[in-house]
Structure 1
Amino acid sequence: MGLMGDDLSNCGKPADLSFLKLNTFDTNLFLTAFGLESARYTRVGGVPDRGPEKKFLTKSLWLNNNKLKTTKNVDELVNAVIEYPSYLGWIDFSFNYITEIDEGLLKFPNLKILYFHGNCISDLNEVFKLRPLEQLRSVTFHGNPIANNPKYRSYIVSALPQISNLDFTPVVKTEKMFPMPPELIRKFKEDRAKEKALKK
């Protein structure tokens, strides 16, 4: 992997941007008001090293306990603070006010872990947007309104067949054999209909 691989070989520490009262992913505002120096070091005993462009050498970004309502433009922030964005494997959005998952997350195909617990997501279809992330293995959504849906777990396991862990609980083989919830079947049909309409 060359220099990039060498740089990332010791990038165990996450970039911890939690508890900053962030309510937007306005990159210019972040860099002006906070900057990379705002990364917390107490929780993990330090901050990540910096790369050639002075950005963080890490595969993990913690944005928990802020005031975010959407993940829109998170890709811009990632590009501003992470040296090698394409290697990003873990984002923690827990304990915000997020209602919407923006498809900008799909720009990071190596994401394996996404934490959304303790947010305000009320539409199960938001979860569906994560389906193209083939490397995704662990997600959390407990503490969101969607978790009160009786078909919550079966919907997510069916919508994201690539995951092996949901809400810190392993997904067992029998769960993946359950019939697909009707809501998800409708979602697939709607998406196919939209694709056909766009092709006309």
Structure 2
Amino acid sequence: MSDEDDLDDIEPDQDDLEKEDDDKEIEEWDDYRKEGEEVSEEWLPTPLTEAMMKEGLSLLCKTGNGLAHAYIKLEAKDRDLTDIYLLHSYIHLRYVDISENHLTDLSPLNSLTHLLWLKADGNQLRSARMNELPYLQIASFSYNQIADTEGIFHPRLVNLDLKGNRIRQVTGLDPERLTSLHTLELRGNQIETTLGINLPKLKNLFLAQNTLKKIEGLENLSELTTLHLRDNQIETLDGFSKEMKSLQYLNLRSNMISDLGEMARLRDLPKLRALVMLDNPCADETDYRQEALVQMVHLERLDKEFFEDEDRAEAEEIRQRLKEEQEQEMDAEHDMEPYTPSV
């Protein structure tokens, strides 16, 4: 596959991945949570009932032995639910949406061993911990009150969404158990360090709107292609390495990078094609775009603008000049070494 083909895997306008609507959604949710902290609201007990089940069930399919049928999809969204105990007996469910309720407990889902897809956004969950669900592939727990990432070890999990929670550090994500996880969404939390995200199969990592000051512990993410770090407090680009050999798109918008020289730390990323550095202090420097291309020969786009052929030619001239100057300095140092006659 050519480099052009690799870039085709990235969406045409990667800035759309910043999801402005979701940014607004996170701000609105933060406001909602602050109001909830000021006014302690007691929800009236509202259990999931058979009537609600009858209304929300759909998609009739054959069961495992092929001799019977059961509904495998449930939508119980925005029903003010505080209790889903009834679900423990609906063991054939594969798709469950229990978003926008007041749930604090997911344990009734532990018996749903055929579950493929779970959406539990906008509840009062403090944990995403559940028993291992052998077929679960997509799980979304966004906009809850989850404080950690413990107890998540579903072997076929591909996409995990934990945005808009209260996570400070990623712990408990075992790479030997989460062997299929390729997308991890952690935007809008309170994450202070990237340590703990040791998932070699990960392809997409979203860490925008946290409190990160630097990048560390991501060296083993050799299959990572997309990394979002927008709206953090990052000052240095130390922490990137050539082992991150698949990284194509890096978003560092709205951080605190002031030194253009930091871009040199990205030159060992062999497949980096698109870089976003808007709203960093260094982006106001006169040589901002030129320095980026000098340091990253294969870069195709900086922020929203692609580099032209003349930009590449100029950058190549600068690289050659710098190389010649470096060689001259080395020759000069060699000439200044004291002569030691052979005996």
* Structure 1: stretches of 5+ with no match in the other structure: 1-6, 32-54, 80-84
Q: Percent identical across equivalent pairs?
A: 24
Indicate which of 203, 208, 213 corresponds to 1:69: 213
What is the deviation of 1:181?
Answer: 6.0
- Write out aligned runs for 1:178-197 (5 A): 178=314, 185=322, 189=326
- TM (norm. structure 2) is 0.39
Q: Which has the higher helix share?
A: 1
Query: Does structure 2 conserve the Cα–Cα contact (< 8 Å) formed by 1:19 and 1:65?
Result: yes
Aligned to 1:20: 189
What is the deviation of 1:13?
Answer: 7.3
Equivalent-residue separation in structure 2 for 1:108 and 1:119 (angstroms): 21
Q: Which moved more, 1:143-152 or 1:173-182?
A: 173-182
Cα 1:157–1:90 change in 2 (3 A) is same
SS in 2 for 1:86: coil
SS in 1 for 2:275: strand
Alignment length, in residue pairs? Answer: 152
Equivalent-residue separation in structure 1 for 2:185 and 2:248 (angstroms): 18
Aligned to 1:136: 272
Indicate which of 161, 164, 167 corresponds to 2:297: 161
- Given residue 256 of structure 2, which amino acid in structure 1 is its aligned partner? C
* 1:99-141 per-position Cα deviation (integer Å, ceiling 9, x unaligned): 0112444321111111111110011111111111111100111
* Structure 2: stretches of 5+ with no match in the other structure: 1-155, 160-179, 334-343
Equivalent-residue separation in structure 2 for 1:102 and 1:56 (angstroms): 20
* 1:152-177 per-position Cα deviation (integer Å, ceiling 9, x unaligned): 11111111110111102111111112
Indicate which of 234, 240, 244 corresponds to 1:98: 234
Aligned to 1:170: 306
Aligned to 1:37: none
Query: Does structure 2 conserve the Cα–Cα contact (< 8 Å) formed by 1:65 and 1:95?
Result: yes
Equivalent-residue separation in structure 2 for 1:56 and 1:108 (angstroms): 10
The list of structure 1 runs, each at least 4 consecutive aligned residues, that deviate by more than 6 angstroms after superposition, is 9-13
Query: Does structure 1 conserve the Cα–Cα contact (< 8 Å) formed by 2:278 and 2:303?
Result: yes
Equivalent-residue separation in structure 1 for 2:239 and 2:202 (angstroms): 22
Q: CA RMSD in A?
A: 3.5
- TM (norm. structure 1) is 0.64
Query: Does structure 2 conserve the Cα–Cα contact (< 8 Å) formed by 1:68 and 1:97?
Result: yes
